[in-house]
Amino acid sequence: MNVSRSSPDWRSRSGHAAAGLVLCVALACGGESEVELADSLLLNGRVYTFTWDDPAPDGTPAANAPFDAGGWHPDAEAVAIRDGRIVFVGGNAEAQAYRGGGTQVYDVGGSTVLPGLVDSHVHIAGLGANLERLDLTGVTEEEQAVELAAAAAEELPAGEWIVGWGWDEGAWANRYPDNRLLSERVPDHPVILKGLHSFAVWGNRLAFERAGITAETEAPTGGEIVKDRNGVPTGILLNNATDLLEAALPPLTQERLESRVLAGLQAMAAAGYVAVHEAGADAALIQTFENLEREARLPLRVYAMLQGSDEPLLREWLERGPDRDIESMLVTRSVKAFHDGALGSRGAQMLDDYSDMPGHRGVGGAEYGFDWELIARTMEAGFQVCIHAIGDAGNRRTLDFIESVYQAHPEARNYRHRIEHAQIVHPSDFARFAALDLVASMEPPHAVEDKTWAEDRVGPQRIKGAYAWRTMRQTGVPLTFNSDLPGSDHDVFYGLHAAVTRRDKDLQPEGGWYPEQTVTPEEAVRAYTVWAARSAFMEDETGVLAAGKWADITVMDIDPLVAGSTEPGGLLNGSITLTIVGGRVIYPEAY
Ligand SMILES: [Zn+2]
């Protein structure tokens, strides 16, 4: 992660500035008015307020944007904050009027000040869990993964579970490992190694024994137990079958879950985020968020989507109704549902056969556990729904479903429903996203991570509607960008770089992968700030830097608008210097 702790020396605290608690200044409207002193003041920033209009569908900045032949220019230098809200944005000199003896002053020394970043699709407990697990991200060979598991086994008493995560089931799909070497090297500990995107797990013999998975075990609908010629499980479970092994793990205590959630949220604060949208909270996770909110321990804002597969939880919330109080740190007015699987493991539902597996079209809808009736009821009750759809059939059927709910309940159109991933879309379906007032919730990292195999799955034609951010913009579909962590690195500099270049961390491929689908640096920042705020109904309170809005602010050491348009590779070198939520500095901790 590209986040470094800022050195404290650029910061200064004013001890004795203006006398008195209230200053009088002449306002432009005439007459004198009392100005309340600020609790805190950011000075000497390259401040981009994002209060100008949206760019055109082709990315051209609006006429009132701070952009000219010389490129981007900040449109302010200073921000004053009081009682959790912004009270002034403008020049350094004018900002002095808000400075009093008790004002904490942050001289950001030319750093860039942006509206607070939002990651609009995360699995926060997963991030926290990864901080505890054997890390297999970046591992490309079976032997390497096995050696890491063997090393972990040496540290643990026999019989204890070894949980690993991060091997790339998309990249490994044509040569899945089996349990032979793993069982030989780690015979006395059950081992479960989860795939990067949670669509495959790999286990050793002891783990399969503990889970009771044998040649006789049948895979659940929408899942596969990979078996050899003799019908014996090889050690790999796919899609819905992954639960068979995960169910054998010791249960997670509430205490452990809470510590994972906090670890995950703290990592996000350090990465510059002021809010996350949790993409699937079950009853235990909702309980954890509620406890943390009640005890005022949520460091940043949490917009929680209820887990659609947790039926008792949904029924409980159907009674309660959506929580629309956005002044609290936790907002619960949204439901997450899965329509189909993932592309890498060929679970995404396609209109035609997979190009690299004739006769196979993936799995979706009721077969994948999508409860049409229950999800329709939540829409009718005023919840926003956020539906995971990856394949072109998965997306089309999700659009059909939403359209049918609008026909029966026209008021359901008012809730900015989202399609999560919207990964492979048939050319004739883009316009339907706009016609149905949907938000496309997409992950710039996915494009650059999947590029090596995505075209194998769908071929040269369908790939043109894949990860198609520019087509969405051109069609008038609102976007929000996110990481889908822990499946992808949530580092916003990586996300911005992927969005603007369609190149990976090694700057491959040169020229970008289907570069016609890139967005501009301005669009990318908007998709992580003001557009993300809109996708959670919060744009009246946040997403731009202006007097009256929440003081949710991210400060970084590079200017993403300038770097993104002049030397985009430099985006990867950015780091976060300050994260502020409701006027409170949540990163670095020392504040
Ligand atoms: Zn997700």
Torsion region of 212: left, alpha or beta (phi above 0 gives left; psi -120 to 50 gives alpha): left
Q: Are residues 5 and 77 in the same domain?
A: yes
Of 564, 574, 542, 578, the C-alpha closest to 55 is 564
- Domain annotation covers residue 519: no
- Output the domain CATH number for residue 460: 3.20.20.140
Q: Are residues 241 and 137 in the same domain?
A: yes
- Domain annotation covers residue 529: no
- 152 C-alpha to ligand 1 centroid (Å): 28
- 440 C-alpha to ligand 1 centroid (Å): 14
Burial of 189 (0-12, 13-18, 19+ CB in 10 A): buried
- Domain annotation covers residue 291: no
- Output the domain CATH number for residue 208: 3.10.310.70
Tens-place pLDDT, residues 370-417: 999 999 999 999 999 999 999 999 999 999 999 999 999 999 999 999
- Domain annotation covers residue 122: no
The domain total for the chain is: 3
- 506 C-alpha to ligand 1 centroid (Å): 25
- 544 C-alpha to ligand 1 centroid (Å): 26
Question: For residues 345 and 236, is the Cβ–Cβ distance under 8 A?
Answer: no
Question: Considering only 14-23, 306-315, 443-452, which range has the smallest mean pLDDT?
Answer: 14-23
- 199 C-alpha to ligand 1 centroid (Å): 11
Q: Are residues 104 and 133 in the same domain?
A: no
- 491 C-alpha to ligand 1 centroid (Å): 16
In this prediction, residues 505-512 reach a mean pLDDT of 96
- Domain annotation covers residue 498: no
Alpha-carbon distances of 365 from 135, 170, 293, 373, 403, rounded to whole Å: 33, 22, 35, 12, 15
- 336 C-alpha to ligand 1 centroid (Å): 9
- 426 C-alpha to ligand 1 centroid (Å): 22
- 282 C-alpha to ligand 1 centroid (Å): 13
Whole-model pTM? Answer: 0.84
In this prediction, residues 483-491 reach a mean pLDDT of 94
- 430 C-alpha to ligand 1 centroid (Å): 21
Which residue bears the tokens 């993936």?
362
- 420 C-alpha to ligand 1 centroid (Å): 8
Of 100, 80, 96, the C-alpha closest to 88 is 80
Confidence of residue 130 (pLDDT cuts 50, 70, 90): confident
- Domain annotation covers residue 281: no
Q: Are residues 442 and 381 in the same domain?
A: yes
- Output the domain CATH number for residue 6: 2.30.40.10
- 281 C-alpha to ligand 1 centroid (Å): 11
Tens-place pLDDT, residues 554-575: 999 999 999 999 999 999 999 9
- 121 C-alpha to ligand 1 centroid (Å): 6
In the chain, pLDDT over 70 holds for what percent of residues? 94
Domain that holds residue 82: 1-110+541-591
Q: Are residues 389 and 443 in the same domain?
A: yes
Query: Looking at residue 198, what is its pLDDT?
Result: 84
Query: Looking at residue 132, what is its pLDDT?
Result: 81
In this prediction, residues 238-243 reach a mean pLDDT of 94
Tens-place pLDDT, residues 48-66: 999 999 999 999 999 999 9
Among 432, 465, 481, the domain boundary falls at 481
Confidence of residue 35 (pLDDT cuts 50, 70, 90): confident
- 483 C-alpha to ligand 1 centroid (Å): 9
- 484 C-alpha to ligand 1 centroid (Å): 5
Among 197, 219, 246, the domain boundary falls at 246
Q: Are residues 242 and 202 in the same domain?
A: yes
Q: Name the pairing type of β-strands 117-122 and 273-281.
A: parallel
Confidence of residue 10 (pLDDT cuts 50, 70, 90): very low
Q: Are residues 470 and 364 in the same domain?
A: yes
Q: Are residues 451 and 580 in the same domain?
A: no
Q: Are residues 368 and 422 in the same domain?
A: yes
Q: Are residues 444 and 371 in the same domain?
A: yes
Q: Are residues 96 and 158 in the same domain?
A: no
- 490 C-alpha to ligand 1 centroid (Å): 12
Measured CA to CA, the distance from residue 427 to residue 464 in angstroms comes to 8
- Domain annotation covers residue 383: yes
- 119 C-alpha to ligand 1 centroid (Å): 12
In this prediction, residues 304-324 reach a mean pLDDT of 96
Among 466, 481, 496, the domain boundary falls at 481
- 231 C-alpha to ligand 1 centroid (Å): 32
- 357 C-alpha to ligand 1 centroid (Å): 25
- 421 C-alpha to ligand 1 centroid (Å): 8
Q: Are residues 362 and 475 in the same domain?
A: yes
Cis peptide before 486 (omega within 30 of 0): yes
- Domain annotation covers residue 136: yes
